[in-house]
């Protein structure tokens, strides 16, 4: 499963990219607003750091303006994935941009039927929001399982399932077990994946024993 980081903070992206484990980045208007910077500048800078897909979301809701915004975002760099909402106008925009050879991430997906439409529209990614479904008492991971099962039935559907609205390490594990192609994860959750108290305890014991030998590898 590929790991995307869900942020527009350049320092966070640079730090995580240095691990070599980062496959892409997703942003949205809320994350751009938190950064306090111009969206075009932020996306361009991120694309220079990460060679994988960088999702940049349109702000319009009508087809004509969405398409204009999508084309402008796509022109920033070859690895931009234009992000559109899962609406009729968003799907129409997806179809046009996909036919032009652009990567499109169809976001705000909350049902398997919506995901099927996104795939038929030519989306490179569909983003089911598991955490937001959990918030209203549903099981978001069941949606991931349903979409993966549907896509697996049809070789012609090339859309990747991108598990979004990830809230913790448990979501990451469940998404991987469900067969999601990608998880987009907040920076703090990615760092939680490294941590385990037994790892820390074992390392401390090894270092203590090593210091007693008086040796140096270098």
Active site residues: 83
CA distance 115 to 151: 9
């Amino acid at each position: 499963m590929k790991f995307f980081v869900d942020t527009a903070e350049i320092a966070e992206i640079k730090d995580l990219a240095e691990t070599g484990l980062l496959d892409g980045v997703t942003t949205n208007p809320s994350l751009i607003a938190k950064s306090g910077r111009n969206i075009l500048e932020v996306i361009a800078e991120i694309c220079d750091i990460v060679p994988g897909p960088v999702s940049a979301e349109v702000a319009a809701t009508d087809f004509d303006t969405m398409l204009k915004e999508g084309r402008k975002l796509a022109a920033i760099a070859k690895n931009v994935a234009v992000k559109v909402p899962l609406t009729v106008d968003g799907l129409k925009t997806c179809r046009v941009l996909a036919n032009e050879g652009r990567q499109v991430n169809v976001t705000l997906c909350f049902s398997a039927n919506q995901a099927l439409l996104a795939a038929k529209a030519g989306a490179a990614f569909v983003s089911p929001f598991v955490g937001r479904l959990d918030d209203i008492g549903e099981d978001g991971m069941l949606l991931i399982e349903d979409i993966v099962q549907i896509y697996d039935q049809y070789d012609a559907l090339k859309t990747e399932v991108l598990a979004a609205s990830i809230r913790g390490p448990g979501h990451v594990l469940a998404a991987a077990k469900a067969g999601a192609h990608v998880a987009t994860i907040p920076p703090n959750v990615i760092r939680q994946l490294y941590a385990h108290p037994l790892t820390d305890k074992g390392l401390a014991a090894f270092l203590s024993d090593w210091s007693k030998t008086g040796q140096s590898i270098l």
